[in-house]
Structure 1
Amino acid sequence: MLQLRRMNDLTPEFPLHNDSASSEDTIVSFLYISRGWSSKCGGYLHLFRSGEQRTPSNSIEPIANRFVAFRTRASHWHSVERVCGWERLSVLALWDIIGASRNS
């Protein structure tokens, strides 16, 4: 699956969640394509180790041409911060891992 995603001042944040599906082993990837980002624009991708964690383990700036990828596991939680005064464009792709075990 491939999607172009847009966030702007009218788009709510994406709350803490994971993309894990019990029957699928996939990789989620983002390519950020919007130029002109600064920290005041928001739109960070926040990564968490659990659904109970309130402070991110890592935060990724949505800088143009940055590529981010992670497996969709139950332990991979993330959220996306609301955007302010800027348009965050990204290309999202879901990649099926054929023949991979959910436990590997």
Structure 2
Amino acid sequence: VRINKGPFIGREALQRQLASGVPNRFVTVEVHGESDADPQGNEPLFDRSARMIGRATSGYYGHCLRKSLAIGYVQADLATVGTELSIEILGQRKQATVVQESPYDPDNLQLRA
């Protein structure tokens, strides 16, 4: 979107957002511990003081990584890789950590193990 190209619907809101910054960031979260369920989406994400700071938009089990992962939005100040969070999956709180975007096994080591 070119903000200076001319009027369009939502231009004023976009200008305000550009001036003040985006309040949330998109992150990938690794869920720790054993569980019978993986995140599916819309699970709340909490900071270390149990304050809700965002929501998962979707989740899955990464078979090659052998880890449960979720993606979602959190407050911008908590979007740093390594930030410890928790996620509520089917009423149970699980420890989680913000990880590098889109983790994968580039050398296919898990497939050859």
Select the structure with the greater relative contact order (CA < 8 A; seq sep ≥ 6): 1
Same fold (TM over 0.5): no
Q: Which has the higher helix share?
A: 2
Task: Please give the TM-score of this superposition, normalised by the length of structure 2.
Answer: 0.26
Task: Please give the TM-score of this superposition, normalised by the length of structure 1.
Answer: 0.28
